[in-house]
Each structure stands twice: as C-alpha cells, then as structure tokens.
Amino acid sequence: MSVLNPLPELTLPQMLREQAQRIPAKPALRQKNFGIWQPCSWQEYFRRAGHFAMGLLSLGLKPGAKVGILSENQAEWVISQLGAGIAACITVGVYPTSPTAEVAYVIGHADVEIIVCEDQEQADKILEALGELPKIRQIIVVDMRGLTSQTSELLISFAAFAARGEAYEKQHPGRVDAMLDQQSLDDAALMIYTSGSTGKPKGAIISYRNIRAGAWGAIDRLALTPESTALSYLPLCHVAEQFMTNFGPIYLGCTVSFGESIRTVQKDLREIAPSYFLGVPRIWEKLHSEIHIKVNEAGGLRQRIYRWGMNVCAPIRSKMPAQWTLIEKAKLSFFYWIIFRALQNFLGLREATLAMSGAAPIAPEVFRFFRTIGVPLVEGYGATELSGVVTCHNADNVVPGTVGVAAISVDLKLSEQGEILVSGEHVFKGYHKDAEATAAAIVDGWYHSGDVGEWVGDNLKIIDRLKDIMITAGGKNLSPSEIENAQKASPLIKECIVIGDRRKFIAALIQIDYESVAAWAEEKKIAFTTFKSLTENPEVFKLISEVVATANQGLAPVANVRKFHLLSKELDHDDDEVTATMKIRRSKIYSKYAAEINALY
C-alpha cells in the first residue's frame, strides 16, 4: 500500500530552480571533455536550461510542443530536457543507435518541432528524412564539425541557440520564473517510446506527477542521499536512466557525471567510483565476461586464489549480513583484501553502496557472482509506463530469483492469471495517438503490465511476459527467459533464443560471446579469422554443447535445451533483430531463422 509522498510538490524544472537557489555552487553535472572533468553547478545548470527555454520561446513554440533529443548522454541532453520543461514543452528522446527509418518514425509520430542532435552523424539522419518530417522547424547540433558547409537554414549550433535564448531573456526579464510559477504536477513532461519488440514503438506520456512518484520510489529503494553520485551512460530516452540521472538527483541535489562516450564507460567508472550504479543484464554479463577473461589470463597462483575465494565466499554471501558469524566476516575480509578489492577496482564499483540490475531478468549465476565478490547488487523491476522503480530488493535481505519488494510509492497486485497490476501515481497518462492501447493498458486505474509474476514471501518473482509463455506439444507451460538466462549464465554465451511453443522439445538459437570464446580458442591454439569461422569450428560447437549440458542440470527435464544452432553473426539492431535496448524481437528472429529452426526438429 502506497503512503504519502514526502518530496516537494514541485515539477522537475521547479526543483531545478529550487536547487539553484538552495545549493547554487554545488556541482550538479560533471562532463568529461578531452580527458578533463568539467563541473557545472546547480546555478549554472538552471541558467543554461533557462537560456534553452527562451530560445524555444523565441521560435514561438507553444506549451505542449514536442522537443526531440537524438544524442548519447551528455550535459546538453539534460539541459535541453529541463529547458524544454521550463518552456512547458514535452521532451522526446530518440536512441542515437537507431537507423534513419526508426528515427523518422519516432520524430514524425511524436510531432517533434525542434530536434537537438549530438553531431553530424545524428543530424544527417534528420536531414535525410526531412521529406517525412514537415513539422521540423529547427535542428540544433551540439558538435557542428562536418556541418559547417551545410546550407540548410534549419541547422544551428547549440551554442548559437543558447546565445539566442540569452538575448531573448534579456528582452523578456522574469519570463523564466513566470513560466515556472504556472506549472502543475499534472503537466506532461516526457514522451518515452517503448522498445517496440512486438511492433511499432508506442509513445508513453509521462507527467511530472509520475516523475515525482518515480523519484521517490528510486530514492527509497536505492537509498539515495544528497551526497550520492552516479555515472550517466545508459540511454536517457529510457526511463531507467531518467530516474538515475534526473528524477532522484534533481529532487535530492546529487551530482551526476557524463563520460566521453558509451565506449569509455568502464574507464569512467574507475575514475568516478559512483556510489550507485544501474546496469541492464547485458552490462553485467559483459563485466562478468571481462573478469572471466582476466582471471584466465592470470593463470597460476592468482587463478587458484580466485577460485578458492569464490568457493569460500559464495555460501556466506548467500546469507543475510545479520547471519554472518565472526569467522565468516573474517573470511570475507581476508578475500576482499587479497583478491576481491582488486576486482571491484577493475569494475569501478568499489565505492558503490548499491548496484542495481533492471530492464530484464538477470541470469542467477551472474547475479550470485557479483554478490560473491562483494558488489552490493540488487535486482529491480519497472516499466516505461510506470515511471521507474516498482520493486527492488532490500540491500540486506536479497532473495535471489526475485525482483524484491514493492516500492513504498506503489500499489501492486497479481491478477488471477498472475499478471502484475500496478496503480498509483506511477501510472503514466497514456499512449500518444493511441486511445485503444491506452484503454487496454489501464483498466479501472490499474496498469496491466503484461508480465506474469508470483509472490515469494513479500518478494516478487517475474515468470515471463504473458505473451511469451510457451506451451509444449505435451501441454507443459514454460518460461523462455528462465531457460535463456540459465544458458547465458556462462560468459561464453551472449544470447540465447529458445524455441518450443507447440514443439516436442526445447531447442535454441545461440550467439556466442565473441571475446570470451576467442580468448578460449587462442589459448587452445584453434585458428579462426572471423566471428563466422569461429562459430563453425567443431571444437567451439563441442565447447558450447558442454555449457548447454551444464545449464540443463539446473532446469527441469522438460525445460532442457535438447538441440541448438550457433548463429554465424551477432544479432543486430540495424537488421531488426533486436531493439535499441537490445531486447530480442522474437517474431522477427523466428521468421528470419525459420530454416535453421526447422532443421533442429
């Protein structure tokens, strides 16, 4: 049962003004440029957002107009978002990895009028699709390199746009405060497009009331304080990064850092050493794989000490800290200093008081691995339509295989079919231009998630998507994600897509983790030249067969993967095989690999 939200009844832009007045000199943002971390205070953050807002007003934008952002995470992303918010406009984030056609669909469907682009690569996508985007009035580019010869009147640099806004503010003093004073928590703030794993993405409209509820949920579940620090790296057009970068930090006054790019995340993590961190399962799998490779390269004594420490500490870490004996605490301390401290430093997570996995189920073995080496990993559950964290583990009472207990700010229950239903201020306003989908999603005030769950005490366990539950030819209901995660627990397997609906047995399409398998092949002196040649090697097939057999031991016999096909290429967003958030497009893959699937049966 949700209780009264203690956060100020202010919109996010109003809270930005509040922090600029309360803690003006404290760093709000830090951005790494040319290897140097540049701070931006709360006062400067608010000033720059105000200039962006005035730039929008100078173009005649009306309240409710849509402002798109097509960029990797950087200070200009959030300055544009909060500036749009000050001007009562709605921000629409677009994945920078999306191809032109996908970008054009989202921008066109959302009726975006102003678009902020990171650089030439992103601006070119808009210029290429201009014929489909008649409402675009201005393309604002942060990095103009490569575009200086462009003659389009729509193009303007971010710096020049900010200068235009600053000049407009001087002509209209007090306008920023006047607009902020008129804002309401029920105003629309964001339009976040769903992953579109089963069709075209839908634009979920998020209000400031939703954001305030999401902020409180994140603050409570992640134990955030004004001194908490974070590295912003997951796409800001996803609700998970929004509550990590904007919702909680702006209400509390935390400091958020932006690295140079998504490719420098691990280096940035080591430099920042954030106090809290969010990773999707693929991030945790990649970090797990990198440690696996490093340990194998170390060999000898260090490898033996590592395995000794894992064997000793795993059963201790599986218990609550209150249950640890003095001897067990001594063992944890011993292995921390001789091996696990170095691993935490390698990850950049030694200072993290909480690390979270979300957006999809994480493989239990991967989850246990990080807990064993002392990373305080918890698992949470949420959805775009629910504005952030719905459930999360209690840090000192983690129940593996579950996604924790309900956030203090939500009402949650299961339907007769086990579908997760949520009500309260978290629930979004509806889908843009899709009243039918909105009516299907929100029934009598309850959001129907489409996810099947079950209770394990007070903790929620996610079974799978309702639509993905498979029924075998023998009539047995199975969860694909449970089987897939069992296989992906190995650092040698990057993706696993199981097949089995109405089939006699379970089969799978498997994508190897190229770095891990390549390292193994080099150690065994197995020759290969490409991803394809590596997967076609009989020794690699034998290796993966052993991995599959090991994973099968932890599954019910009916859920065992009996046959599999190794994919000869990595699944790719551009090939429409995965979404921008790397979620599998099952129907597309089942269709594209129909011949390989049929050959398995």
Write down the pLDDT at residue 322. 85
Write down the pLDDT at residue 469. 77
pLDDT of 70 > 80? The answer is yes
Whole-structure pTM value: 0.85
Mean pLDDT of the chain: 90
Q: Of 15-24, 444-453, 458-467, where does mean pLDDT reach its minimum?
A: 458-467
CATH H superfamily, domain 469-600 = ANL, C-terminal domain (3.30.300.30)
pLDDT of 31 > 80? The answer is yes
Write down the pLDDT at residue 35. 81
Instruction: Assign 305 to helix, strand or coil.
Output: helix
The pLDDT tens digits of the residues spanning 394-407 come to 877 888 889 999 88
What gap in Å lies between CA 250 and CA 42, rounded to an integer? 9
The pLDDT tens digits of the residues spanning 200-230 come to 889 999 999 999 999 998 888 888 999 999 9
Write down the pLDDT at residue 3. 65
Pick the CATH number of 13-183+222-278 from 3.40.50.1220, 3.40.50.12780, 3.40.50.1110, 1.20.200.10: 3.40.50.12780
pLDDT class of 362 with cuts at 50, 70, 90: confident
pLDDT of 197 > 60? The answer is no
Write down the pLDDT at residue 386. 92
Where exactly does CATH 3.40.50.12780 map onto the chain?
13-183+222-278
- Per-residue CA distances from 135 to 65, 123, 128, 167 (Å): 11, 16, 15, 25
Environment class of 343 (CB within 10 Å of its CB; exposed 0-12, middle 13-18, buried 19+):
buried
Write down the pLDDT at residue 133. 94
What gap in Å lies between CA 470 and CA 64, rounded to an integer? 43
Q: Do residues 79 and 52 make contact, with C-beta atoms less than 8 angstroms apart?
A: yes
What gap in Å lies between CA 36 and CA 115, rounded to an integer? 28
Write down the pLDDT at residue 434. 92
What gap in Å lies between CA 48 and CA 166, rounded to an integer? 9
Q: Do residues 249 and 420 make contact, with C-beta atoms less than 8 angstroms apart?
A: no
pLDDT of 259 > 90? The answer is no
Write down the pLDDT at residue 96. 92
The pLDDT tens digits of the residues spanning 575-584 come to 778 777 677 7
What gap in Å lies between CA 458 and CA 462, rounded to an integer? 13
Close Cβ partners of 359 (under 8 Å, ≥ 6 residues apart): 238, 240, 280, 281, 581
Residue type, 90: I
Write down the pLDDT at residue 2. 56
List the structure tokens of 582. 């790397």
The pLDDT tens digits of the residues spanning 368-386 come to 999 999 999 999 998 899 9
Where exactly does CATH 3.30.300.30 map onto the chain?
469-600
Write down the pLDDT at residue 364. 84
Work out the percent of the chain whose per-residue pLDDT is above 70: 98
pLDDT class of 136 with cuts at 50, 70, 90: very high
Residue type, 160: A
pLDDT class of 508 with cuts at 50, 70, 90: very high
Helix axes 326-335, 300-317, angle to 10 degrees: 150
